[in-house]
Amino acid sequence: MEASVQTTARRGSPEQRSGSASAVGAPRRLDGEKARGIVEAMRSSVATRGAAASTFDHVAREAGVSRGLLHYYFGSKERLLVEVVRHDCDERVAALEAQLDAAGSPEEIVGALVEQLRAFLEDDPGSPAVVYEMLSASRRSEEIRVELAELYRRWRTQLAEALRVKEREGVVSLDAEAESVAAVIFALGDGVGMQLLSDPDWDSRPALELGARTARRLLTAAARDALTLRPA
């Protein structure tokens, strides 16, 4: 998938920008290899140095772009951090939605959820580090806090809608309102991710298996109720 980053552009070119803040202009997209390089450079810098120590100078040097270009497209380090997390997680949510569309049973849905969590934690260790650095940074930056809250709302809404579709199709029977189920599923993933980030040697397999059973229970309320009501 070609990398692309949605940004809020400032008026003028990188060379025309002055030190004063510019008015917010129309949204722009920074596409292709340049976007991929910027995203990967910021992710790598945050994973190595932390969010506070990562600067536009680091990212520009490692991405092979000018510092002025970063200012032009992103305006602030906080905005770039938000866009990196948005880019990474939107790709993963899109992949999850495709798997859920094809799922024909609760087991296949749970399998898709577990696979996406595994990919998030193992395929690129820098990605979870960036997300959790962003959680920490949100306590010091109102901009990051607002954006992170919006991202979580959108992810919950997307997963909840996919679960509603599966409930209408008769594939699942949710144990609670769809957005609450989605919130618990994300909480399970976040919890395991935070523990692995702080303790990489922790054997998370038993916890992941328990999490999968918990998710399955949330998706199979009708079947469980039928067993409960069945006469002895």
Same domain (yes/no): 37, 92: no
Number of domains in the chain: 2
CB 3 within 8 A of CB 36: yes
For the domain that residue 46 is a member of, what is the CATH number? 1.10.10.60
Same domain (yes/no): 65, 86: no
Same domain (yes/no): 30, 83: no
Beta bridge partners of residue 10, listed in sequence order: 24
Same domain (yes/no): 224, 200: yes
Cα 46 from Cα 52, distance rounded (Å): 8
Query: By residue range, what is the domain housing residue 166?
Result: 79-229
Same domain (yes/no): 91, 200: yes
Same domain (yes/no): 161, 187: yes
For the domain that residue 140 is a member of, what is the CATH number? 1.10.357.10
Question: Can you give the pLDDT of all 232 residues of the chain as single tens digits?
Answer: 444 455 544 444 444 443 333 333 333 555 667 877 888 888 888 878 887 788 999 999 999 999 998 888 888 888 888 888 888 778 888 888 899 999 999 999 999 999 988 888 887 767 777 888 888 888 888 888 888 898 889 889 999 999 999 999 999 999 999 999 999 999 999 899 889 888 989 999 999 999 999 999 999 986 554 444 445 5
pTM of the model: 0.74
